[in-house]
Copies of this chain bind each other. A is one copy, B any other.
Amino acid sequence: MTDSEQIRLFFEPSSVAVIGASPTITKVGYVVLHNLLANKERWAFNGDIYPVNPKHSRVLGVRCYPSLKSIMKKVEMIIIAIPAQAVLGVMEEAENVGVKAAIIISSGFSEVGNVKLEEDVKKIGLRSGIRIIGPNCLGIYDSYTGMDTLFLPEIKRLSSGREVIATPRPFPGSIVLISQSGAFGAAALDYMAGHGMGVRCFVSLGNRVDVDEHELLRYFAEDKKTGVILLYIEGIGKGRDFFEAAKEVTNLKPIVALKAGRSGAGARAVASHTAALSGIDQIYGTVFKQSGIVRSMNLEEFFDMGRALSLQPPARGNKVAVLTNGGGPGIVATDTCEESGLSVAKLSEDAINKFETLKKKGEFLPIMANSNPVDLTALATSDMYVKALEILLDDKDVDGVLVITLPQTPSILDDVIEKVSDVAGRREKPVVVCVMGGTEMAEEFRARFEKSGMPSYSMPERAARALYSLVEYGKRLRKSSKVDVKI
């Protein structure tokens, strides 16, 4: 079995046992079993499901087994949700019955000082070949296969009596999120669900006794449904493996990384959080750069870049144009582009001529600015956006466009969304969108842009940084194609 086939077992097991299955609604073993059964019933999960718990003969209407051994059928994967002290026994039993993979959700290992126990679990994994995710993790949420070990409550009751979804699952998409931190993962899924980001998979790695980032990177690089990989990192254990994997994977898929613990105090906090060695930040910077990983400097940008890279093609160069109906936001976007190393330069003579010709024909306003940023002014119409964007995308001196639409101005109508998306969709250069505003109109504009495949942001700077990620990844791809030519 190749490494990749082994990793695949975690996401698509033909059979899975839930160790610690429980009829008690607040127990991890209830939530996990419930989710798997529901997913099997309604759409996705294909594997056989075996609850294991000596205290019950049936759980959630399904036959429950007293032990792994008693199942008497092949069990490929086990999900362990029992107290830490009992995990070792289960792992030994798993070894005897030929289990191939284990997600150990249980906490109570090295993170609270039980280093010996964790070492013993690791040893069983090594000698038996059972691959392990965890312990002390949330496990996996796979939006396509229905594998779902997130045990956080689905519903929470507020003091008003109102019930709200506590751990929403984002809709299926192409974004993979890999995180050591569990609570962050839950918040991240909530964020992505709320912002309409389609998620391929979420993996929480916990204490990482076995499966590590680099194996997941290689796995998702080959996965056809994966478009972009987001990596929340507190510290990398196997630096060389990570570097080699990342270098190869970014040939195929973009990776965005957020490294927490950059500051001295942050690094100390990492040590007490996941016991990871945070390391010198500069080294991470170099590793990211040399392996072609796009580095985000904050969490918002982390998700923003993920959306851009999942929806738009990489740029062929760093020359970008800004198109706007509001001068101020256009300038602000320009500042951030330039500060990120993008060039907001003069348009080609050809493009300027086109603008001037259409100005004379009355298709643009005489007061519009066709320097870069291109300011259509507050009187811009949807048709002006279409014509301007066409000119910009056809300009050989423009590698990508940042489009700002302030929906508050009188002459701009919401057909600008579909029109701009249509023009962008017929070219191979990336386009990102900024729609400023916080009420229903702006929200509708942003949501509809996203549905049309255009990453859209509420602030010009965020759109600029998203465009930067498309330029950075384009740089990475050009580098690899050069290398290929040399060989």
The residues of A with any CB-CB pair to B shorter than 8 Å are 26, 111-112, 152-153, 156, 158-159, 164-168, 179-184, 186-188, 190-195, 232, 234, 258, 260-266, 268-270, 272-274, 298-300, 325-332, 334-339, 343-345, 366-367, 369, 371-373, 375, 378, 406-410, 413-415, 436-444, 458-462
Contact = CB atoms under 8 A, between A and B. Distances in A.
A194 B438 contact: yes
A335 B406 contact: no
B331 A266 contact: yes
Contacts of A187: 326, 329, 406, 408, 436-437, 442
30 contacts: A112-B366, A156-B407, A158-B414, A158-B444, A164-B441, A165-B441, A166-B408, A166-B441, A179-B328, A183-B325, A183-B408, A184-B436, A186-B408, A187-B406, A187-B442, A191-B442, A194-B437, A194-B443, A262-B335, A263-B339, A264-B338, A265-B334, A265-B345, A266-B334, A269-B371, A269-B372, A270-B331, A299-B436, A299-B459, A300-B461
A260 B179 contact: no
Contacts of A190: 408, 436-439, 441-442
Contact of A269 (B179, B339, B373): B373
The 9 closest A-B pairs by CB, nearest first: A194-B438, A181-B328, A184-B328, A183-B326, A263-B338, A190-B437, A273-B327, A187-B436, A186-B408
B328 A273 contact: yes
B459 A260 contact: no
Contacts of A273: 327-328, 330-331, 369, 375
Contacts of A195: 438
A478 B39 CA distance: 60
A152 to B, nearest CB: 6
Given A191-B436, A371-B272, A332 B260 contact: yes
Given A298-B459, A329-B187, A159 B406 contact: no
A351 B458 CA distance: 41
A439 B165 contact: yes
A256 B28 CA distance: 48
Given A195-B438, A414-B159, A265 B327 contact: no
Given A179-B328, A408-B152, A409-B152, A193 B334 contact: no
Contact of A186 (B181, B264, B372, B409): B409
A179 B437 CA distance: 16
Contacts of A407: 156, 166
A175 to B, nearest CB: 14
Nearest to A164: B441
Contacts of A192: 438
A373 to B, nearest CB: 5
Contact of A260 (B158, B193, B328, B436): B328
A228 to B, nearest CB: 18
Contacts of A439: 164-165, 168, 190, 193-194
Contacts of A269: 327, 330-331, 334, 369, 371-373, 375
A272 B436 CA distance: 22
Contacts of A234: 328, 331
A186 B166 CA distance: 35
A343 B265 CA distance: 8
Most buried by B among A260, A265, A440, A444: A265
Contacts of A371: 268-269, 272
B335 A266 contact: yes
A191 B437 contact: yes
Nearest to A111: B367
Given A269-B373, A269-B375, 4 more contacts: A166-B441, A183-B326, A191-B437, A299-B329
